[in-house]
Chain A
Amino acid sequence: MRLPALNIWLAMILVASLQSAALAYIVFDRAQLLANGREIVLDTRPVDPRSLFRGDYVILNYGQISLLPQDLAKGMEKTQRTVYVTLQNDAEGWRPTAVSDKFPDAIRSGEVVLKGMRQHRSRRIRYGIESYFVPEGDGKRLEKLIRKGELKVVVAVGLDGRAGIKGLVVEGKPVYDEPIF
């Protein structure tokens, strides 16, 4: 089996364009989510301060949202991987109130649903918002702020439950990385 002789320049342009289109799609998809998603502000909590700083990114942990309480986790199927976690906002911030394997039918106004991936049959859930890349050398400063409880994360949540990091709130002031594009 031989492929028809394709002009090498045509092949080159095709390959480079398709690969660039894939990259542009990822960027566009993400920009869409950040621009149109509902904005919520989550507290980050250090669980194990030693593992917070790794290379040039900070690992973010969201307390109960990241490690679901026992009573909520009981409802999950043993082998279930994708989970939808409903969060409710109260005086203490966003808190998980329900877990389901499909996107819930009805959501109340004070609620938001996050799509997450469960870590090997445990209560630990990842939402894709667990790391924040920082300029070299800035990681230590952010790590200290997390430890003092002065760092919050601005998250955009899409209608399908996907979440993306929009920016950080440092000492009560929002700090955005840069414009979405």
Chain B
Amino acid sequence: MNSYYRRRLETDLKRWVDAGFVGPDGARAILSDVTRERSGDTNRIVAILSILGAILVGAGAISFVAANWQEFPRLMRLGLLIASIFSAYGAAAALFQRGLGMFAHGAVLVGSSLFGASVMLVAQMYHIHGNPPDAVFVWAAGALLAGTLMRSNPTIVMSLLLVGLWGGWETQQVHGVFWPFLPAWIAVTGVLLAKGCRYGVKLAAVLLAIWIIWLGGYYRHEITVVVGAAFALAGLLLSHLWSRHENYGRLLTSTGFALAMVGLFALHLLKDWHGVSNLPILAAYGVSTLALAIVAAGWGIRTNDRTLTWLAYAGFTVEVGGLYLKTIGTLMNTSLFFLSVGAGVILLAAAAYWINRHLRMRKGAAQ
């Protein structure tokens, strides 16, 4: 809870008490409830600090071992690495048992970082210069195992990020679509869903969206638009038919919308539209993209979906900017285009207002 919300609630409550909606006792209870929730913020800060601290400690331990590497014989180095892994997870288990969950998550994160560093150090120990993404994959698998068994979501999220790094690295090397990314993504996202880790699932959605945009780049951008539309549709269906999973439905809708928009941008904003005969096509793209953004914004406002609303505004802005740059210096009159689109949007708003009023009047008449 932020203090902005609390301040707003204070002024609103004063108004509501005056209007007789809420009794003075109720107002006090509501305010104290909000204040109590604020102490949860301190917990979150502790958690964030302990995780950041864990990352730093892990980095420090790794660089110390790496710097003094040559002093130890090979087998001892391996023993050192294994001992460090055991002690990190052991510390995590002890912290979990004492109810210090926030520090325990940090310790699991340290353990998994140490595992990743150990894979790299073993490669260094034997001068293995194979395929570096393979090491990242092994690391991701180890982190997924640790996060799942030790029930630590931050480490599962780390595994997700590593899967992203692995996929990106391999994509760069193959110079094509790297399909193994998909099953790996499904595995980690499945665990995140099962654990109900909301921020992890959101991150997974972003990662998949990037991959699909890439896919469009290698094949055709139409793919991105079609997949995006399918996602958005699936999301709408999910939130309506299965209200228990409304949050994931919304996430799917927003991701699908973002994908469709990026696909549309790629289809008409990256191309050169020379010649007069092509201009109607560009205009058709422009009008449909803007219409999609407006519909999405409207839907976002209607369903209180702030992510979708803001994505729609952002998409609208990018489209207007892109069209402006595309139509500058062409035979089509830029200002005329914007004037007509603007007039269309205003007409649309007027129509929406009229329909709304009409519906309300009918409802009023029915009562």
Chain A interface residues (CB < 8 Å from chain B): 1, 3, 6, 8-9, 11-12, 14-16, 18-20, 22-24, 26-27, 30, 34, 57, 81, 117, 120-121, 126, 128-133, 135-136, 164-165, 177-181
Task: Give B55 Cβ to nearest chain A Cβ, in Å.
Answer: 18
CB < 8 Å: which of B111, B118, B125, B126 contacts A15?
Answer: B111
A128 and B128 contact, CB distance less than 8 A: yes
Quick one: which of A3, A12, A180 has the most chain B CB within 10 A?
A12
Task: Give A107 Cβ to nearest chain B Cβ, in Å.
Answer: 23
Given A11-B150, A164-B127, also A16-B118 (CB < 8 A): no
B92 and A12 contact, CB distance less than 8 A: yes
Within 8 A of A (CB), among B108-144: 111, 115, 118-119, 122-131, 138, 142
Q: Which residues of A contact B146 (CB under 8 A)?
A: 15, 19
CB < 8 Å: which of B97, B123, B145 contacts A8?
Answer: B97
Interface residues on B, range: 35 or more
CB < 8 Å: which of B73, B75, B89, B118 contacts A12?
Answer: B89
Chain B interface residues (CB < 8 Å from chain A): 67, 69-70, 73-75, 78, 81-82, 85-86, 89-90, 92-93, 96-97, 111, 115, 118-119, 122-131, 138, 142, 145-146, 148-151, 173-175, 194
Q: Which residues of B contact A129 (CB under 8 A)?
A: 127, 129
Q: A12-B150, A26-B122, A30-B126 are in contact. List 9 more A-B contacts (CB 8 A).
A: A15-B111, A16-B82, A16-B90, A20-B82, A23-B118, A26-B119, A165-B127, A178-B73, A179-B73
Chain A, residue nearest B148 (CB): A3
Task: Give B207 Cβ to nearest chain A Cβ, in Å.
Answer: 22
Given A23-B78, A120-B175, A181-B75, also A9-B126 (CB < 8 A): no
Complex: A9 Cα to B95 Cα, angstroms:
11
Complex: A22 Cα to B115 Cα, angstroms:
9
Q: Which residues of B contact A178 (CB under 8 A)?
A: 73-74
Mostly, the A contact residues are mixed
Complex: A14 Cα to B93 Cα, angstroms:
12
Given A15-B111, A22-B142, A136-B67, also A130-B129 (CB < 8 A): yes
B129 and A15 contact, CB distance less than 8 A: no
CB < 8 Å: which of B93, B111, B119 contacts A9?
Answer: B93
Given A12-B89, A16-B89, A23-B119, also A133-B127 (CB < 8 A): yes
Complex: A167 Cα to B365 Cα, angstroms:
92
Pull 30 A–B residue pairs with CB atoms less than 8 Å apart, ordered by A: A3-B148, A3-B194, A6-B149, A11-B150, A12-B89, A15-B145, A16-B82, A16-B89, A16-B90, A19-B85, A19-B111, A19-B118, A19-B142, A20-B86, A22-B119, A23-B81, A23-B82, A23-B119, A26-B122, A27-B122, A30-B128, A57-B124, A120-B175, A128-B129, A128-B130, A129-B129, A133-B124, A135-B69, A165-B127, A180-B74
